[in-house]
Amino acid sequence: MNEYPTTNGEAGDMTGRQEEEIVDEFPMAVLDGIRCAAGGELTPEAMQRLTADEITLWGYAILREEVMDGGFV
C-alpha cells in the first residue's frame, strides 16, 4: 500500500484499487468539463470554442469508447 497525505496532515494508506479509481476519475472529470464548455455535443461551432488539446482529448475518449465496446470493425 502507498502512503499519501490526508487533510489532517497524517499519512494514510491507499490500496491499488483506490489509486486506479482516482487515475480513472481524473481524466473523466476533465472531459466532463470540456463537454460542458462545448455545450455537450461535438459540433463545428463547439470545436471553435475548444483548444486543439481539448478536441484531441475528446476525440481520444470517443475512439477509446468505441474500441472498448466492440473493437475495430
Q: Kindly report the pTM of this predicted structure.
A: 0.61
Please tell me whether residue 2 adopts helix, strand or coil conformation. strand
Q: Which residues pair with 12 in a beta bridge?
A: 4
Mean pLDDT of all residues in 18-41: 83
Where do the structural domains in the chain lie, given as residue ranges?
Answer: 33-66
Alpha helices in the chain (DSSP H): 16-38, 44-49, 52-70
Mean pLDDT of all residues in 31-37: 91
Average pLDDT, the chain: 79
Residue 51 corresponds to which cell in the numbers above? 483548444
β 11-14/2-5 pair status: antiparallel
CB count in 10 Å sphere of residue 18: 13
